[in-house]
Amino acid sequence: MNITKNLSESLFTWDSSPKSTGALKATRTFIWRTVQNTKNNLFGYVFEAVLSPVIMLLIFSYLFGGAIAGSTNEYIQFLLPGILILTVVPLTVYSGTTICLDITKGVFNRFRTMPFWQPAAIFGPLITDGLRYTIALLSALAIGFLLGFRPEGGLLGTVLAILFIIFFAFSVSWIISSIGVIAKRPESVSGSSMMLIYPLMFASNILVDSATMPKWIQVIVELNPISIVTSAVRGLMSGTATTAEILGGIAICLFFIFVFAPITIYLYLSKNNR
């Protein structure tokens, strides 16, 4: 190993003036990074994003379908929009663990001493996560079609529903990201996020119509943001969405973004890593 010779030769082969990198280029670079990461771990990703919704759909529609809705075919009409949400929301945990890993590994410290537009380190991964949500949603939807799901809202309703779910997942990502900045270890990000997500998802109208529940639970379930979003998605896909349902769904997403995006970015930029 003749480092000195190699280095002094190689160092003069490229332009050495470091520039500060703008928002667009920095964000694009972080998207590139997370896409490479996903590619390098394609098997794990496919397993989580594609296989798990498939398994959930099969279990819920065949195991519970008869008991809950009388027949599997009828249940899938009700269930599929909710399963899409059940598929995507746990994927938002990645947004938190990515940030937390960077902070615990010290990558964050290196980024912080570099002259690029700092929020890119948060925006980039979130945009890639959006791509991952899309792939997971489309594969869950495809399985739904195979199992007999037919959206009465037609193509337009389905496309709008998918776009809306991605928007919702993006807004949840911000909550999880803020946990990712605060958490001491990546494992505690997934732990505490799941503690937050799963009770909300099961105490919702994803699996069962809230009309069948006792009154007091009904109130809780109907106030649950996941239920509001699920109703909007269900409405879009069946072509029965009311303006109130859609506005309610969008309001929840905007609320999450306007509250948690500034919090996350503030916490990230002011974080002192000891």
Partner 1 sequence: MQYAIKVNNLKKSYNENQVVKGINLQVKKGELFALLGPNGAGKTTTIHMLSTLLKPDGGTVLIGGVDVVKNAKDVRKKISLTGQFAALDEGLSGLQNLMLIAKLHGYSNKQARSIANTLTQSFDLFEARNRMVANYSGGMRRRLDIAASIVTQPDLIFLDEPSTGLDPQSRIQVWEVIRSLLKLGTTVLLTTQYLEEADQLADQIAVINKGTIIAEGTPNELKASVGEKTLSFRLTKPYEHKKICSILADQHALSVFEDDDPLVFKIPVIETRLANDAIHTLLVNEVPLDEFALGEPSLDEVFLALTESKHEEVVR
**Minimum distance from residue 117 beta carbon to partner 1 (Å):** 10
Distances (CA, A) of 210 to 11, 31, 74, 215, 216: 66, 40, 17, 9, 11
Nearer to partner 1, 129 or 245 (CB): 129
The whole-angstrom separation of Cα 197 and Cα 85 is 11
**Minimum distance from residue 70 beta carbon to partner 1 (Å):** 46
Nearer to partner 1, 19 or 215 (CB): 19
Nearer to partner 1, 9 or 152 (CB): 9
- For partner 1, the binding residues (CB under 8 A) are 1, 3-4, 6-8, 10-11, 13-16, 18-21, 25-26, 29, 32-33, 36-37, 40-41, 102, 105-116, 272-274
Maximum Cα interatomic distance, the chain, rounded to a whole number of Å: 78
Strand partners, 116: 21
**Minimum distance from residue 132 beta carbon to partner 1 (Å):** 14
Strand partners, 21: 116
**Minimum distance from residue 140 beta carbon to partner 1 (Å):** 25
Residue in the block written with tokens 């590619």: 39
**Minimum distance from residue 4 beta carbon to partner 1 (Å):** 4
**Minimum distance from residue 182 beta carbon to partner 1 (Å):** 18
Nearer to partner 1, 124 or 225 (CB): 124
Q: Are 30 and 120 in contact (CB under 8 A)?
A: yes
Nearer to partner 1, 33 or 207 (CB): 33
Nearer to partner 1, 38 or 178 (CB): 38
The whole-angstrom separation of Cα 185 and Cα 233 is 34
- The amino acid at 47: F
Nearer to partner 1, 4 or 243 (CB): 4
**Minimum distance from residue 108 beta carbon to partner 1 (Å):** 8
HSE (CB half, 13 Å, CA atoms) of 113? Answer: 5
Q: Are 87 and 52 in contact (CB under 8 A)?
A: yes
The whole-angstrom separation of Cα 227 and Cα 249 is 9
Residue 41 corresponds to which tokens in the numbers above? Answer: 């771990």
Task: Provide the sign of the torsion angle of the four alpha carbons 138, 143, 145, 151, taken in this order.
Answer: negative
